[in-house]
Amino acid sequence: MGDGLLRKLIYAAILGTTCLSTSAQAGPVGAFLSGIWTGLSTGVVAGAGITGAWATGASIGAGLAAFGGTFLGRVLFSVGLSAIAQSLAPKPKVAPLEVMTNYAQDLSFVEMAYGEVRKGGAFALSAFSQDGAASEGMVAKARRHYGVILAAHPIEGVIAHYLYTWEVETDEAGVVTTDPINGRCKIRLYDGTQTAPDAIWDALFPEVTAADYYPGLAYAALYAERVADSEFSKVYPRGREWAYAPVLRGENRIYDPRTGTTGWTNNAALVIADVATRWYGKAVDWDEVAAQADISDAPVTNRDGGTQPRWTINTVLRTDMTWEDVRAHLTMCCDAFFYERTDGKLGFKVGHYEEPPLTLTDADFAAVSLKHKATGPDDVYSFAYRYVEPARDYAEEVTGAVVVGSNPAGGRSEQECYGITSHNQAWRCAYRWAKASKPEWRLSGTLKFIGRELMGHRFVRVQLSELGLDAVFEVATLARNAGSHSWSLEAVSVDAADFAPDALTLEPPRPVRATIAEDGTVPVPASLTGAVVEGTGGVAQIEWTWPAQTEDLKQRLRIRRDGGDWYELTMVAGQSSYLDTGLVDGATYEAQVRNVTVAGRLSDWAPEAPVSVDAVANTLPPGGFGYFSAMQSGSSVALSWTAPNDSHFAAARIYRATDSTDLGDASLVGLEYGAPNATDEWLDAAPGTGAHSYWIEPVNGSGIPGTVSGPQTVTIS
């Protein structure tokens, strides 16, 4: 970052070391986003980024020797899925599905994405711009700009965009084209190879310099555009900018020893090797990795009769996870078995049966204990795995049950493994977990020096003549006993079929989840009426009324006068009418009503055509005229009358029809204001020849008519 920027920033923390830990429980060292910085004068918030060894991809942690695992006070040389199933090893602590959120905090452990995952990440920047479009040559608009760090390394790319819970499409420029966001968001993706800052941020915010481009990190820059209040709840259902959690293909620097190339893959063996060597400082035998990669790629048949790779890993790892956490998680993803090689390198095998190369006999044990399943409690009836299901927008799903018990009232064991994105793979792991949890035989013993020869072997044949046992066992744990040449062995009996269950006959169907279409539309009030209020003493009032709504809804009423601007009023809960007072007598008022939820979601306005009512201050009509006459005066007609003796009288309307005595044929020809009980006159100048009939109608100050008098007919020839 430039010196000018540094003077303006407050760092919550910085990366202070590049050294390696020597603790047996070591996790990544200093592997966190170094704070969120705040521009003191502008309120711009951005991530300070990562520097030093982390940015260059140097190893971030080391354990004891190459294997690096200890628990139960022993130095461990072999551990696999059966050890976790037997509770002989820690269960993994992995990032939960909350990785689909965006968050801001002073320190954020960074995340590594492998395979194909859906995830969000920490905020890199959050800032408001009143001129959010200036850098694009567009009309200025108010926008919230924000950035999301997707991974602490380069990625292959994003294959699907998610904003909030919506999968959205973008045009070539990155502008979202999916409703209701359409046009209100632009996504710019940076895959970790960028060499310059985001152009929009650089143009809008002086605090962003040429150095602020997050080298080596994959991130996305977005904006969320301000919308009208009437659309806000529909566009922003969370009441703020959308969480960005795309489906991405992660780490793309994975080495494949079979081809000598690097790139993206979710091959389980290659992912394990990359995690171990890149992030945890382990050494591996690449020939062994190549062999395990072939096993991972080998096709297996699923329940539908299709084929898929045997083992893939699609996961998110966080740098607050120790090597033991990560190793346990990877073990559960692909039924892996880890061991320390005699050359000090980390060895591992993915789930696959091999004929045991070594046989142990009575002479090899200093002590041995066997337990048959018939002697143990039948406390678990079924097993299942929780995994990530792409068909459910990468949400958590559970496999069909693997039934192993005889008592349906027994318990159910569900294991979480969010590095699996296939029901078939999750079921195969659950199947192995069930077999390892309830084996035919469990063996615990102390081996003599031959224990060293067992290093690196997952399967071993055990022949104990004194007990009449001849069976193949899978090593759960192999540990050297301190201060002696003996070895502790925990193992469970296995069958080759445990590692290759027939999916066509055994794999249960994925649980069916009925999809209920959620109607998020807020109901519209069925009607709205408006009525002039009578007897107000000369004040114009209109009462607007609508049907009572459910108690979870409030109403918003909007009103305008003579086609002018609308003004809105929010009603209290349970209200079903509104008295509109202080109106202009004779003006036309229009109104519409809508519902609003507690969360601020709005219905459409109702009715579609506004209800129109003329305001009336005086609703009482005046009395009739006491006297009315018409007579010829030359070529004109002179009318005279006595006004009603009524305080409500304000004026007389004069109607005329020619050659007709039907009031329906008459037209309004005059309006004469006057006082109550007063005599008045009006001259109809030169109406022309013919028989002219006249009527007179009293009205009050609001134009409300009384009884019509007439006709009086005058013929002019």
- 493-534 tens-digit pLDDT: 999 999 999 999 999 988 777 666 556 688 999 999 999 998
Token pair recorded at residue 286: 């690449």
pLDDT band with cut points at 50, 70 and 90 for residue 538: confident
Cis check for the bond before 180: say yes or no (omega within 30 of 0).
yes
User: Residue 366: left (phi > 0), alpha (psi -120 to 50), or beta?
Assistant: alpha
Residue 99: pLDDT above 70?
no
Domains with residue ranges and CATH for the chain: 3-62+121-244 (no CATH), 69-95+297-511 (no CATH), 529-614 (2.60.40.10), 627-716 (2.60.40.10)
The per-type count for the chain, helices as H runs and strands as E runs, is 11, 47
Please state the rounded mean pLDDT for residues 689-716: 94
482 pLDDT band, cuts 50/70/90, is: confident
Q: Point out the least confidently predicted range of 12-21, 106-115, 332-341, 426-435.
A: 12-21
Residue 35 gets the label, from left (phi > 0), alpha (psi -120 to 50) or beta, of left
Please state the rounded mean pLDDT for residues 647-673. 94
Q: Which residue has the higher pLDDT, 303 or 405?
A: 303
Q: Is the pLDDT of residue 53 over 60?
A: no
Mean per-residue pLDDT, 170-183: 94
- pLDDT value of position 670: 94
Which among 500, 396, 528, 353 is positioned nearest to 95, based on CA atoms?
Answer: 396
Mean predicted confidence (pLDDT) in 192-213: 90
What is the reported pLDDT for 26?
30
Check whether 269 has a pLDDT greater than 80: yes
Q: Where are the alpha helices (DSSP H) in 69-128?
A: 81-85
Q: How far apart are CA 553 and CA 353, in angstroms?
A: 62
pLDDT on residue 685: 94
The dihedral through the CA atoms of 492, 495, 497, 500 has a sign that is positive
Share of the chain above pLDDT 70, in %: 85
Q: Comparing 327-331, 410-414, 595-599, which segment has the lowest mean pLDDT?
A: 410-414
Beta strands, E only, 465-597: 469-480, 487-493, 529-532, 540-545, 553-561, 567-570, 577-583, 588-597
- For the question of whether the overall pTM of this predicted structure is more than 0.85, the answer is no
Which of 123-127, 150-154, 207-211 has the highest average model confidence (pLDDT)? 150-154
Token pair listed for 170: 């973008």
Going by pLDDT thresholds of 50, 70 and 90, the confidence category of residue 457 is very high
Residue 319: the pLDDT is 83
- Predicted local distance difference test score (pLDDT) of residue 15: 23
Is residue 39 very low, low, confident or very high in pLDDT (cuts 50, 70, 90)?
very low
pLDDT tier at 66, thresholds 50, 70, 90:
very low
Q: Distance between CA atoms of 346 and 277, rounded to whole angstroms?
A: 9
**Helix or strand holding residue 571 (H, E):** none
Sign of the CA dihedral with 495 first, then 496, 498, and 501 last: negative
Spatial separation of the C-alpha atoms in residues 572 and 559, rounded to whole Å:
17
Residue 302 has pLDDT above 70, yes or no: yes
Residue 362: pLDDT over 90? yes
Q: Give pLDDT, residue 378.
A: 58
- Per mean pLDDT, which range of 41-55, 535-549, 612-626 is the poorest? 41-55
Q: Return the sign of the alpha-carbon dihedral for residues 252, 253, 257, 259.
A: positive
Residue 141 banded pLDDT, cuts 50, 70, 90: confident
Tens digit of each residue's pLDDT (9 = 90 or more) over 103-138:
766 566 778 999 999 999 888 888 888 764 444 555
Tell me the CA end-to-end span of the chain in Å, nearest whole number: 103
